[in-house]
Chains A and B, each alone.
Chain A
C-alpha cells in the first residue's frame, strides 16, 4: 500500500514549524524519521492533510551532556545515540539495540519514538525508568513534560497537536546504581511482547532505591510502583525480588492479542522483573 497525497511543508526553524502546527492543528502530522509515520500512512491508518517535515531544521540533531544527564535534540537518530552510548552507557546501548533493526535506527529518532508512544516500545519505558522528560514547544511557549505525565495511552501522549517535542532529557543513573534491561519478543528486532527496565541503588548492603518500568504490559509503559515500594530498605536477594515482582505483576492489566494472552504476559513480566532486578543489583554491587 502507498501513502495518500498530502500537503508537504519543510520548515527551516522551530518557530516556523510550530506556526504550521498552530495553523493546521489536528490535520497536521510532524515527520521526523518516518519509521512509524510512513507505515501508518502506507496502511492509511493515518491520513493527515498536512505533513510538517522537521528534517531540515538545522541544529536539532544533538546529543550532549546537560542537566545531569543527556539532552537529546528532536533530530538525533537512534543509531547516533547508540554509537554515542557504546562508550560508557551500556544501559542506553542495550535498550537501543532492541529497537527494530539497524536500518530503522539509522532514520528513526529518539524523540519520534517517544512521541509515537507505542506501548511495547523500549525508549518510552527507558525515559520513564530514568524519570526523564521532554521539552514541548508551541507558538505560545515552551513546557517541560515529565515522563510520568507523558504517556497517556496507546499511541497517545500529553503532547498537544500544536506542540513539537524539541528535546528529550534523559537523566543518568543515580549514584552507585546498577541497571537491568530485558525483553521477550518473537523474533530479534520485533516489538517486545513484554519488557522491563530496572534500576537498583544500594546503600550499606540494602536497597536504597529501586525503579522498574514495564512495556508491552498495557496501553502505556508503566512504573511497577508496588514493587518499588516493597523493595525500599530490603536486602537485595532473589526472594525479595520475587515477592516484589509478584505483587507488581498482580496489578498489571496487559492486553491479550494474537501474540500472547494477558496471563502469559503477566507471567513473563514477573520473571523478567526478577531477572532485571537481580542484574541491576549485581551491577550496583560490582566494580563498575
Chain B
C-alpha cells in the first residue's frame, strides 16, 4: 500500500509522517509517531478512550483520518503537562485517585480540558454530560467527577 506524506501539527510541533491514507489518526499517532498516550479501545466511536483535541475540540481519533486534519492543531495527553509541570486536571486526578487502571484517563483528561476551556465553572451535571462519551470500567466515575470539579475550582482561584 503506498504511503502518503503528511504534515501534522501535534502538541505544538510540526511532524512529517508517511502513512497509508486508510490509517486512522489513532493508528498514526500510536504506530507512526510513538505517541502511545492516546489509547486504543473499541475503534468504533463507542468508548472515548482515543479522544484527542483538534483545534481545542474533542475528536475521536479512531474515527478521523489524519489527512483531513492537516493544518489543524492536534493535542494529545502528552501535550498536557508543560515543562514537567502537570496540568491542573492531571494533578487533581492523581491526588484524588481518579485513575485506577488509567486506560480511560487520557481521553477523559482531554475531554475535561475542552469542557473547562469553554465553561470554567461547570456544574456536576454539565461535567457528566461532557464526559458521557467516555467509558470507565474501574472508578465508578465519582472520583473522576470530583477531580474535574477540583481542577475547575483551583483554576478559577477557589483553591482548596
A-side interface residues toward B, CB under 8 Å? 1-6, 8, 10, 31, 34-35, 38-39, 41-43, 53, 55-56, 79, 100-104, 106-107, 188-189
Contact = CB atoms under 8 A, between A and B. Distances in A.
A39 B44 contact: yes
B22 A79 contact: no
B106 interface: no
A59 B45 CA distance: 28
B144 to A, nearest CB: 15
Given A53-B68, A189-B132, A189-B133, A104 B45 contact: yes
A42 B43 contact: yes
Contacts of B51: 103
B44 A42 contact: yes
B133 A104 contact: yes
A141 B27 CA distance: 39
A35 B132 contact: no
Contacts of A6: 21-22
Given A3-B22, A6-B21, A107-B63, 12 more contacts: A6-B22, A8-B21, A8-B67, A31-B65, A38-B24, A53-B65, A101-B132, A102-B133, A103-B111, A104-B60, A106-B54, A188-B129
10 contacts: A8-B4, A8-B21, A35-B60, A42-B44, A53-B67, A103-B58, A103-B111, A104-B45, A106-B58, A188-B129
Interface string B117-154: 00000000000011011000000000000000000000
B17 interface: no
Interface residues of B, number: 30
Given A102-B133, A188-B129, A34 B65 contact: yes
A55 B65 CA distance: 11
Contact of A5 (B22, B54, B129): B22
A113 to B, nearest CB: 14
Contacts of B36: none
Contacts of B132: 101, 188-189
B22 A39 contact: no
B117 to A, nearest CB: 13
A106 B57 contact: yes
A103 B44 contact: no
A5 B22 CA distance: 6
Given A2-B43, A3-B24, A102-B130, A34 B63 contact: yes
Interface in B50-83: 51, 54, 57-60, 62-65, 67-68
Contact of A2 (B24, B59, B65): B24
Contact of A39 (B45, B48, B67, B130): B45
Given A6-B22, A8-B21, A106-B59, A101 B48 contact: yes
A41 B58 CA distance: 22
Contacts of B68: 34, 53, 55-56
Contacts of A188: 129, 132
B101 interface: no
Contact of B22 (A8, A102, A103, A104): A8
Of A38, A43, A102, most B-chain CB atoms within 10 Å: A102
A2 B27 contact: yes
B35 interface: no
Contacts of B59: 103, 106-107
Nearest to A55: B68
